Amino acid sequence: MAKTENKRLSGISTASLAVFEGVFLGTIGLFVAILRALENTFQYTEQSQNLLKGLTFGLGTGIVLVVLLPIIYFAVGALIGAIHGVIYNYVATQMGGITLRLTDDK
């Protein structure tokens, strides 16, 4: 029979939550940047009526986006994660935290 016990989560590491949310949003930023790079490439190709110019300018701006957007998304995600961590730790001290029911499957 599985043994069940309750544990209370009364606080979290603000830094680890900030890093987690930063990496999560940074990954989303990378996918957004790739889609924007492709969109820019198609737009420049269509506007210039020249495939080589479109690829050059589109991929040039796309590479900048692929580098900068994940960094910006990471920074915003880390800031939001730090704020979430501070708010959770404050609320958890006031309300006693979250009770987790853990089951041992042995």
Q: How confident is the model at residue 1 (pLDDT cuts 50, 70, 90)?
A: low
The count of structural domains within the chain is: 1
Q: How confident is the model at residue 15 (pLDDT cuts 50, 70, 90)?
A: very high
Distances (CA, A) of 20 to 24, 26, 45, 64, 104: 6, 10, 38, 24, 27
Domain enclosing residue 68, as ranges = 3-104
What one-character DSSP code corresponds to residue 39?
H
CA distance 105 to 2: 5
Q: What's residue 103's pLDDT?
A: 87
Percent of the chain past pLDDT 90, that is, above it, reads: 46
Could you give the angle at the alpha carbon of 85 between the alpha carbons of 27 and 98, nearest 5°? 110
Rounded mean pLDDT, 50-69: 81
The pTM for the full model equals 0.78
pLDDT at 8 over 70: yes
